[in-house]
Amino acid sequence: MSLQSKIDNSDATIGVIGLGYVGLPLMKAFWQASPQTFRVIGFDVDQRKIDALKSGKGYLKHLGEDFVKDMTASDRFDVTTDFARLAEPDAIIVCVPTPLGKHLEPDLSYVEDTADAIAATLRPDQIIILESTTYPGTTREVILPRLEARSLTCGKDFFLAYSPEREDPGRKDHNTATIPKLVGGIDPESGRIAEALYKKAVDQAILVSSAEVAEAAKLLENIYRAVNIALVNELKVLLTTMGVDVWEVIAAAATKPFGFQAFYPGPGLGGHCIPIDPFYLTWKAREVGLSTRFIELAGRINHAMPDYVIQRTAVALNSQSKPIRDSRVLVLGLAYKPDVDDVRESPSLELIKRLRELGAHVDYNDPHVPATHKMRKFDLRMTSIELTPQALASYDCVLVATHHAVYDWQMIADHAKLIVDTRNATRHVTGKRDHIFPA
């Protein structure tokens, strides 16, 4: 049976490489696609994830405890660390990290290693789709040569496409199946087959003319957000100095029913997308002899926000005749966004690091993140403290970094000696407010 026939009949085996925030929901979307006949195989290098899935346990809290329970009990589901089994799937979807190096250059090592693993078992009538965010040309320039080294021809023997992930952890109004899916092939036939595949699992698949268009579209989506966040972050610094409430200004502007979309300032950028993705395009631009001044300026503004928060914390403590050194600071929220346990690129980590470097004694509370773990840039070795009135009163300063919905802001304001609020989380607090400093 041909690959197209397997897709048409929902009889294909789907392999997903990388079972994180993107790969795990995608695997379930194919598993539960109607009719429920797709077989799915998940691949990951982390044995702990494989063991958890085999026992029916999820490890991404925002998806819920039962997210994988039905799937892992099915005979159409399998997970493994054995990449020698990559010949089994008819479709292989790659959802591996694309971080930055120490000099803000793209680190494609995960993509390259995965492409080499796929090439080692590549067989005719397979389609490979990259979902990892990257610069235009990656699918064609990095993955294609590795696969064609097997003496197979793309568009004839095997197929290759790019489809950017559009996950937003914690979002309730959309999920993997309801978010429109862009698809671009290395060649027309690859694009057509990839579109047909995704249409089985998502409500809408949109075919574009090439993999490069799909790669660039993903970067545009995130650069758009990064630039607008930089704008309101710059306005926050300016308007705060002028004694104007930037949050009220944004709310006022948002009353216009056209020509304006509200973006909000914060202590810095977090998540895997916005702090990282724009630099993939700025790096690629230099390769073709151009500069991306607008994008780079936005990056500088956003990356300067932790410094601004530290400065505001120093001002706040100074109002209490205290220096940062030897002050006890409690950071509220370790996750990069509210109501999830995702700490990737979280500005809270940078804030803790800088406060420690300045001699502060720092703790944190996050109901979604009970303890820190070692990451590429941070190994804080901290555990979340219990948030009680007595605990709050024991700190010289409470720094609000993430506005989780579970926080009782009135209780926090009533018992904290000093609050530095980077999220306007205390806007509805009543009573005494002269100990709250915006940042």
Integer Cα distance of 116 and 111 in angstroms: 9
Give the number of other Cβ atoms within 10 Å of residue 53's Cβ.
Answer: 23
Q: Which residue has the tokens 């039905």?
A: 70
Q: Which residue has the tokens 């994830």?
A: 49
- In the numeric block, which tokens belong to residue 189? 């036939």
Integer Cα distance of 316 and 319 in angstroms: 5
Integer Cα distance of 128 and 118 in angstroms: 9
Q: In what order do the strands lie in the sheet with 91-94?
A: 77-80, 39-43, 13-17, 91-94, 127-130, 159-162, 181-185, 205-208
Integer Cα distance of 211 and 206 in angstroms: 12
User: Is position 273 annotated as part of the catalytic site?
Assistant: yes
**CA dist list (Å): 415 to 56, 321, 404, 412:** 42, 19, 18, 6
Buried b (16+ CB within 10 A) or exposed e, 201-234: bbeebebbebbbebbbbbbebbbebbbebbebbb
Residues in the chain: 439
Q: In what order do the strands lie in the sheet with 419-421?
A: 361-365, 328-332, 397-400, 419-421, 436-438
Integer Cα distance of 314 and 172 in angstroms: 37
| Active site residue ranges | 273
